[in-house]
Amino acid sequence: MKLKTPDAPKAESFTDATAAVDRLTGLYNQATTFLCDSFETVTRAAEDGTRIRAYYPEVRFTTSSYAHVDSRLSFGHVSSPGTFSATITRPDLFRHYLIQQIGLLIENHGQPVVIGTSDTPIPIHFAVNSETAINLPQEGAGSFILRDVFDVPDLSTTNDDIVNGTFVETDGVRPLAPFTAQRVDYSLARLAHYTATDPEHFQCHVMFTNYQFYVTEFEAFARAQLNDPDSGYTSFVSTGNVEITEGDTPIPDTIKTPQMPTYHLKRANGSGITLVNIGIGPSNAKTATDHIAVLRPHAWLMVGHCAGLRNTQALGDFVLAHAYLREDHVLDDDLPIWVPIPALAEIQIALEKAVAEVTQLEGYELKRIMRTGTVATIDNRNWELRDQSGPVQRLSQSRSIALDMESATIAANGYRFRVPYGTLLCVSDKPLHGELKLPGMASDFYKTQVSRHLMIGIRAMETLRSTPLERIHSRKLRSFDETAFL
């Protein structure tokens, strides 16, 4: 079969990161434009037996030196001599990230990067994803068989082998980045579907919650910030990509609520805050973090409700997780249960500081309303209805002080994807002590606590935003044979 591809320039070495990313952008735009134009041509004319293909651009780096770099930095360098590469997608979306990562690599090793085309085809689905005027037909619905002419997603390059530590070299080239281009493209498409907002709107600081109450408070906070010219926040994005720049602008109701409604309070260079209502359960928590991870956020936090397990706790008390009991099981195949999920000092300090600032309490008085300890995450919302001897005994043996259905999943995926994580929960019921979450009992709690809890999360994120990246991205999250890109 005849193969038709675009005429891409030869691979070229670069010692300037911005120029390197400009070349990546040019190669990517050339490839996707070629595929989109070819698709429209094929749909108008009869298929002639030609296979149409374009390739992702690639960053390649080679070093022969064992020279040590600054060990305080957890990224931006390779651990040993060799050749490393990464396929790249959407260099427009990742421009700031790519300039930063490629710049560090060049600076730390004193070697150029080589920019060219890879041997990984771009699936037609991902090439046309941003072209709203182009609709791909379902299998059998078009005038030609799609996969006979164009490449479609390939699971052999759409996986988590690199971040899971199971990647196997086949050609002597090791990975330079934690995700392949196809894996990134897959998640970008899923994010738009699940959250009803485009990936371009996501900010570097992400908060997850499990209740819509937090969304209402987040929008109110966002509107106040937009009305303050000194806040630094530039716009607020709601589901359906509705974006406002003034606090008094109304937001129309969405026709259909997405599975995980997501909202973005934006600042320059993506330094704002994104709030995702993941709903209830570890499966949703895994789904959201699986896809948001490809955007390489600087931190994500869980701010939601939990069951207090100690009789000394009161409704409305806060729980700062410093360990996790993983009984959710959704990540067992990717991250074995024996892998510890450590607390990250920078995140813990930011959260504790935020609680003190918002509540105006300190020392022993702060300890009265906030406990640190183990948070257990379970996959059964109605665990209280089962035989109490099993779960209650394990909770007691683990010294757990709170139980929810999302926090350990989010923390474990943060660990797996090298995204700094933390958890601050609010006690909304105490099922072991006769205080179940019932409508009448919870109403006052929701009215008084949600706003304060959300503000604590926002304050923590603002603290982390001013913290240098080399401090936030802890070496605790990096293995001894790590990718150079964060």
CA-to-CA distance for 50 and 286, rounded, in angstroms?
41
Average pLDDT, the chain: 89
Alpha-carbon 47 to chain mean position: 40
Pairing relationship of beta strands 55-63 and 113-121 according to DSSP bridges = antiparallel
pLDDT at residue 390, as a whole number: 64
What pLDDT, on a 0 to 100 scale, did the predictor assign at position 75? 87
**Quick one: average pLDDT of 172-185?**
95
Question: What is the average pLDDT across 398-414?
Answer: 94
What average pLDDT does this structure show over 432-461?
Answer: 74
What are the helix and strand counts (H, E) for the chain?
14, 17
pLDDT of amino acid 457: 96
Is residue 151 within 8 Å of residue 83, measured between CB atoms?
A: no
The band of 469, judged by pLDDT with boundaries at 50, 70 and 90, is confident
Q: Which two tokens stand for residue 8?
A: 């891409």
Q: Report the range of poorest mean pLDDT among 20-29, 86-95, 154-163, 218-227.
A: 154-163
Confidence of residue 383 (pLDDT cuts 50, 70, 90): low
State whether residue 207 is helix, strand or coil: strand
Q: Which of 139-153, 327-341, 430-444 has the lowest mean pLDDT?
A: 430-444
Say if residue 100's pLDDT is above 90.
yes
- Secondary structure class of 33 (helix, strand, coil): helix
Least confident of 14-23, 104-113, 138-147, 405-414: 138-147
Q: Is the pLDDT of residue 73 over 90?
A: no
pLDDT at 432 over 80: no
pLDDT, greater one: 223 or 363:
223
Q: Around Cβ 37, how many Cβ atoms within 10 Å? A: 12
Q: 442: part of which helix (H) or strand (E)?
A: helix 439-465
| pLDDT tens digits for range 252-266 | 887 678 889 999 999
DSSP for residue 435: B
Question: Please, what is the Cα angle at 37 between 34 and 41, to 5 degrees?
Answer: 130
- The answer on pLDDT for 228 being more than 70 is yes
CB 20 within 8 A of CB 119: no
**CA–CA separation, 460 vs 205, rounded Å?**
10
Give the whole-angstrom CA distance, residue 354 versus residue 36.
49
Q: Enter the pTM of the model.
A: 0.92
pLDDT over 60 (residue 139): no
For 29-67, write each residue's pLDDT tens digit.
999 999 998 888 887 776 677 899 999 999 999 998 776
Pairing of strands 421-429, 318-327: antiparallel
Query: H helices within 316-386, ranges in order?
Result: 345-359, 363-369
Whether the per-residue pLDDT at 236 is higher than 80: the answer is yes
Left if phi > 0, otherwise alpha if psi is -120 to 50, otherwise beta: which for 241?
A: left
**Which has more confidence, 445 or 198?**
198
Quote the CA–CA distance of 17 and 57 in Å, as a whole number.
15
For residues 276 and 233, what is the distance between their CA atoms, to the nearest angstrom? 18
Q: How would residue 479 be classed by pLDDT, with cut points 50, 70 and 90?
A: confident
460 Cβ contact partners less than 8 Å away, ≥ 6 residues apart: 301, 347, 350, 351, 353, 354, 422, 424
Name the packing angle between helices 17-44 and 95-109 (round to 10°): 140
**Predicted local distance difference test score (pLDDT) of residue 347:** 96
Contact 186, 230 (CB under 8 A): no
Torsion of CA 170, 171, 176, 181, to 10 degrees: -70
Please check whether residue 426 is in contact with residue 304, taking contact to mean a CB–CB distance below 8 angstroms: yes
Answer for the pair 391, 378: CB distance below 8 angstroms, yes or no: yes
CA pair distance 218, 222, nearest whole angstrom: 6
Token reading at 146: 């799609």
As a whole number, mean pLDDT of residues 169-184 equals: 92
Burial of 240 (0-12, 13-18, 19+ CB in 10 A): middle
How much is the pLDDT for 43?
79
What is the DSSP code (8-state) at residue 10? Answer: P
Nearest partner of 295 among 200, 421, 407, judged by Cα: 200
Which of 85, 91, 104, 111 shows the shortest CA–CA distance to 22? 91
Residue 289 has pLDDT above 70, yes or no: yes
Sorting pLDDT into bands at 50, 70 and 90, what band is 226?
very high
Residues of the chain with pLDDT > 90: what percent?
63
Distance CA 454, CA 386 (A): 33
